[in-house]
């Protein structure tokens, strides 16, 4: 199943077009960040490690944003395409189990996104050249990005199993990406502002944990906050990272259960 | 080989199958006919384990369809009403993928794929993209894919839809060949002439139930000898209305069709009833030009069952 999926993906035009575009955009963003940093601070007074950190952070956030935009393309159409080309009935009446079908689709869509992650390594090496970034930062940021992408792939596959048409599944997947990335951030900042103006206390903002949990809660499903948590020193933000990881893994697991249920129902085949 | 008892299946309150019963013997080529929405595709999907039934029982080769789905899948080959293909694969890749899906590996897989290529007459095109095949070739490929794991039972849902006449003839020949190899087949189709040519028996389905003909049969025997169907064509001189009145007033007889100077009459019972009707018509003053027994084709029998709304 995985071999078939990967073979089909690599034969599509987007198999080479998307990685190319991805690298071009990522390269452009990092180059822009480099010139912005060096121009602002002046060519003489700048520390190499500062440039390295700026480039690394720019790369990590840009990469996450781009991959979040690409995940629905690979996952949300994965099962609906079988429905559209009427091959799902043949798969379900073969000896492949629903779990094997899901696993094949999941691994192939995730592997393709991971391929993009790997192709960005040369761009990442630019940040290394300036220093200021250690292996731990790279590891934690990469691990966090992979958890987020795996969860979003699982959600995309759920959408794919729930809808008949790829266009609908992809639209709902994108809506989910926007909801967790943008809507949660807006909800957080609006409620924080309201809370601060109501209390007018200096304590708010000193520490993440001084903010009431009811206000913080939406940010635990925000992928950019999750990534931010991975950069913080372990003692300071480690609990937040763990909470985010639990939330994303739970969301992903829920999506898996619902997808398998949809595949086993089979009524829409 | 296929035993269905009182099968029911509903979708959102609509009964697609309503106590349908069917028995298909080993090695039979069994047809299933009925109008659109009669429940044929639902029956096929339940038998192929794609849908669970609400009530009733269904067994294939002695295995319960609901409870032993995996074993059932080893024994059946299911061809959906609109089978799909992976356009971007080559013919061989397509067959190899499904051979993998049926857990055929190594030498068994190679042998199964070669046999499938021969069966579908696509050996020369094995490296071609599936996209390049004609509709008929794709249908042959999908049928060959369905046979990869040597199923004992084939469930074919409208296999001839969209095929040109030559491809239909080839399909009929292929199905006859498969029957000769001992494979049991259940075929639903709207192309009655095809079914008439290849099937041994045909089950009638309407509104999810067993439909019956005028003689109360829900399964029509096509190959085995059967009781004569007592349909007569009567040509009369002049107006046919008096003849219609006589026929309809005779016990066991009724008019099926009337046109200028011609009646099609159904007579229930033995030869005595036919003779009695003829005598009554003559005594009643009807000038008979022709009184002829007619053997009904499947198409006509189908029309009689379903046009008259007799589920």
Q: Which residues, including other chains, have CB under 8 Å from residue A188's CB and lie 6 or more apart? A: A215, A216, A218, A219, A222
Task: Count the neighbouring beta carbons within 10 Å of the beta carbon of residue A163.
Answer: 21
Condensed to tens digits (0 to 9), the pLDDT of residues B31-62 reads: 998 888 888 899 999 999 888 888 999 999 98
Element (H, E) at A64: helix A48-75
Site from B53, B83, B84 to mutate, A interface, most A CB atoms within 10 angstroms: B84
Q: Following CA atoms A28, A33, A34, A35 in sequence, which dihedral angle do they give, to the nearest 10 degrees?
A: 90
Condensed to tens digits (0 to 9), the pLDDT of residues A28-37 reads: 888 888 888 7
Half-sphere exposure of B269 (CA within 13 A, CB side): 14
Element (H, E) at B178: helix B165-180
**Nearest CA distance, A200 vs chain B (angstrom):** 56
Percent residues over pLDDT 90 in chain B? 21
Condensed to tens digits (0 to 9), the pLDDT of residues B203-225 reads: 888 888 888 776 677 777 775 44
Q: Over chain A, what is the mean pLDDT?
A: 85
User: Is the Cβ pair A89, B74 closer than 8 Å?
Assistant: no
Contact of A37 with A46, CB cutoff 8 Å: yes
What whole-number distance in Å separates Cα of residue A73 and Cα of residue A160? 11
φ, ψ at B257 (rounded to 5°): -140, 150
pLDDT of residue B155: 93
pLDDT of residue B308: 57
Contact of B78 with B66, CB cutoff 8 Å: no
What whole-number distance in Å separates Cα of residue B263 and Cα of residue A137? 93
Is residue B229 very low, low, confident or very high in pLDDT (cuts 50, 70, 90)?
Answer: low
Using the Cβ of B89 and the Cβ atoms of chain A, whether some distance falls under 8 Å is answered with yes
pLDDT of residue A237: 58
**Residue A78, both tokens:** 């994965």
ipTM of the complex in this document: 0.73
**Nearest CA distance, B70 vs chain A (angstrom):** 7
Instruction: Judge whether residue A265 has pLDDT over 80.
Output: no
What whole-number distance in Å separates Cα of residue B246 and Cα of residue B267? 13
Question: What residue ranges in B127-172 does DSSP mark as E strands?
Answer: 153-157
Instruction: Judge whether residue B230 has pLDDT over 90.
Output: no
**Nearest CA distance, A264 vs chain B (angstrom):** 8
The partner residue sitting opposite A95, judged by closest CB among B88, B89, B103, is B103
Give the sign of the dihedral formed by CA A62, CA A67, CA A70, CA A72: negative
Q: Closest residue of A to B69, CA-based?
A: A93
φ, ψ at A203 (rounded to 5°): -65, -35
pLDDT of residue B223: 59
| Residues A136-164, mean pLDDT to the nearest whole number | 91
| Residues B273-298, mean pLDDT to the nearest whole number | 85
Using the Cβ of B75 and the Cβ atoms of chain A, whether some distance falls under 8 Å is answered with no
Instruction: Judge whether residue A204 has pLDDT over 60.
Output: no
Condensed to tens digits (0 to 9), the pLDDT of residues A52-109 reads: 888 888 889 999 999 999 899 889 988 999 888 889 888 988 999 889 999 999 999 8
What whole-number distance in Å separates Cα of residue B151 and Cα of residue B178? 11
Within 8 A of A1 by CB-CB distance, chain B residues are: 101
State the DSSP string of B83-126. Answer: ----TTSBHHHHHHHHHHHTT--HHHHHHHHHHHHHHTT-GGGT
Cα radius of gyration (chain B): 24
φ, ψ at B206 (rounded to 5°): -150, 135
What whole-number distance in Å separates Cα of residue A14 and Cα of residue A207? 44
User: Is the Cβ pair A86, B84 closer than 8 Å?
Assistant: yes
**Residue A18, both tokens:** 């998307």
User: Is the Cβ pair A4, B98 closer than 8 Å?
Assistant: no
What whole-number distance in Å separates Cα of residue B19 and Cα of residue B61? 21
Instruction: Judge whether residue A263 has pLDDT over 60.
Output: yes
Site from A6, A77, A94, A103 to mutate, B interface, most B CB atoms within 10 angstroms: A94
CB pairs under 8 A between A and B: 64
**Nearest CA distance, B83 vs chain A (angstrom):** 6
**Residue B129, both tokens:** 């993209």
Instruction: Judge whether residue B180 has pLDDT over 60.
Output: yes
Site from A5, A80, A90 to mutate, B interface, most B CB atoms within 10 angstroms: A90
Condensed to tens digits (0 to 9), the pLDDT of residues B95-139 reads: 999 999 999 988 999 999 998 898 888 888 888 888 888 888 888
Contact of B6 with B161, CB cutoff 8 Å: no
Calculate ∠ Cα A201-A207-A211, nearest 5°: 60
Stated length of chain A: 269
What whole-number distance in Å separates Cα of residue B288 and Cα of residue B175? 46
What whole-number distance in Å separates Cα of residue A228 and Cα of residue A222? 10
pLDDT of residue B197: 80
Q: Nearest CA to B265 among B240, B234, B310?
A: B234
Q: Closest residue of A to B99, CA-based?
A: A94
**Nearest CA distance, B192 vs chain A (angstrom):** 25
Site from B53, B97, B150 to mutate, A interface, most A CB atoms within 10 angstroms: B97
Condensed to tens digits (0 to 9), the pLDDT of residues A228-259 reads: 888 877 666 578 888 999 999 999 999 999 99
Q: Which residues, including other chains, have CB under 8 Å from residue B193's CB and lie 6 or more apart? A: B298, B299
**Residue A155, both tokens:** 């959600």
pLDDT of residue A40: 66
Give the sign of the dihedral formed by CA B296, CA B302, CA B308, CA B311: positive
Contact of A156 with A72, CB cutoff 8 Å: yes
Q: Over chain B, what is the mean pLDDT?
A: 85
The partner residue sitting opposite A89, judged by closest CB among B80, B87, B93, is B80
Residue ranges of domains in chain B, CATH in brackets: 2-221 (3.40.50.300), 229-306 (3.30.70.250)
Exposure letters A218-235 (e unless 16+ CB within 10 A, then b): bbbbbbbbbbbbbbeeee
Q: Closest residue of B to A84, CA-based?
A: B84
Segment 129-158 of chain B within 8 Å of chain A by CB: 142, 145
What whole-number distance in Å separates Cα of residue B184 and Cα of residue A185? 62
Element (H, E) at A161: helix A135-162
Instruction: Judge whether residue A268 has pLDDT over 50.
Output: no
Give the sign of the dihedral formed by CA B109, CA B110, CA B115, CA B121: positive
Quote the crossing angle between the two packed helices A135-162 and A98-119, to the nearest 10°: 140
What whole-number distance in Å separates Cα of residue A256 and Cα of residue A267? 18
Q: Closest residue of B to A12, CA-based?
A: B88
Contact of A145 with A64, CB cutoff 8 Å: yes
User: Is the Cβ pair A8, B89 closer than 8 Å?
Assistant: yes
Condensed to tens digits (0 to 9), the pLDDT of residues B132-174 reads: 888 888 888 898 899 999 899 999 998 888 788 888 888 888 8
Within 8 A of B49 by CB-CB distance, chain A residues are: 92-93
pLDDT of residue B226: 46
What whole-number distance in Å separates Cα of residue A23 and Cα of residue A30? 10
Strands B184-188 and B29-33 come out as: parallel
φ, ψ at A59 (rounded to 5°): -65, -45
**Nearest CA distance, B128 vs chain A (angstrom):** 15
């Amino acid at each position: 199943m995985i071999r078939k999926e990967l073979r089909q993906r690599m034969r599509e035009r987007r198999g080479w077009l998307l990685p190319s575009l991805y690298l071009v955009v990522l390269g452009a963003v990092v180059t822009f960040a480099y010139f912005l940093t060096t121009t602002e601070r002046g060519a003489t007074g700048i520390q190499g490690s500062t440039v390295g950190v700026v480039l690394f952070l720019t790369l990590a956030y840009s990469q996450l944003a781009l991959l979040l935009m690409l995940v629905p393309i690979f996952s949300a159409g994965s099962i609906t395409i079988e429905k559209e080309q009427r091959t799902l009935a043949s798969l379900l009446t073969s000896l492949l189990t629903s779990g094997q079908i899901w696993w094949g689709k999941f691994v192939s869509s995730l592997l393709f996104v991971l391929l993009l992650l790997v192709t960005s390594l040369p761009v990442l090496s630019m940040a290394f050249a300036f220093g200021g970034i250690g292996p731990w930062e790279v590891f934690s940021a990469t691990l966090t990005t992979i958890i987020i992408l795996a969860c979003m792939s699982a959600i995309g596959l759920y959408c794919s199993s729930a809808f008949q048409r790829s266009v609908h599944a992809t639209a709902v997947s994108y809506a989910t990406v926007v909801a967790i990335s943008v809507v949660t951030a807006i909800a957080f900042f609006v409620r924080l502002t309201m809370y601060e103006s109501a209390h007018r206390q200096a304590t708010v903002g000193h520490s993440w944990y001084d903010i009431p949990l009811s206000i913080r809660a939406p940010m635990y499903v925000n992928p950019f906050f999750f990534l931010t948590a991975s950069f913080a020193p372990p003692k300071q933000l480690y609990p937040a990272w763990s909470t985010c990881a639990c939330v994303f893994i739970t969301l992903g697991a829920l999506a898996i259960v619902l997808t398998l249920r949809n595949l086993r129902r089979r009524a829409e085949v | 080989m296929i035993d269905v008892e009182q099968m029911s299946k509903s979708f959102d309150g609509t009964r697609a199958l309503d106590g349908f019963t069917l028995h298909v013997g080993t090695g039979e080529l069994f047809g299933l006919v009925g109008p659109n929405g009669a429940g044929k595709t639902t029956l096929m999907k339940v038998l192929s384990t794609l849908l669970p039934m609400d009530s009733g029982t269904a067994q294939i080769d002695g295995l319960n369809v609901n409870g032993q789905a995996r074993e059932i899948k080893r024994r059946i080959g299911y061809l959906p009403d609109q089978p799909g293909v992976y356009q971007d694969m080559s013919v061989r890749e397509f067959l190899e993928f499904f051979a993998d899906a049926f857990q055929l590996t190594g030498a068994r897989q190679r042998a199964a794929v070669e046999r499938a290529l021969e069966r579908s007459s696509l050996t020369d095109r094995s490296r071609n993209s599936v996209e390049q095949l004609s509709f008929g070739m794709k249908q042959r490929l999908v049928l060959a894919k369905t046979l990869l794991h040597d199923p004992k039972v084939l469930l074919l849902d409208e296999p001839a839809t969209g095929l040109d006449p030559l491809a239909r003839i080839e399909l009929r020949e292929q199905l006859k060949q498969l029957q000769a190899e001992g494979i049991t087949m259940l075929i639903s189709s709207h192309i009655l002439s095809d079914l008439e040519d290849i099937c041994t028996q045909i089950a009638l389905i309407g509104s999810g139930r067993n439909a019956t003909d005028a003689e109360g049969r829900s399964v029509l025997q096509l190959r085995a000898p059967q009781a004569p169907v007592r349909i007569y064509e009567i040509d009369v001189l002049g107006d046919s209305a008096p003849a219609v009145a006589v026929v309809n007033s005779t016990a066991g007889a009724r008019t099926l069709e009337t046109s200028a100077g011609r009646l099609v009459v159904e007579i229930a019972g033995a030869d005595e009833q036919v003779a009695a009707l003829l005598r009554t018509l003559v005594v009643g003053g009807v000038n008979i030009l022709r009184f002829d027994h007619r053997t009904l084709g499947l198409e006509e029998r189908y029309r009689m069952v379903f046009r008259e709304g007799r589920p």
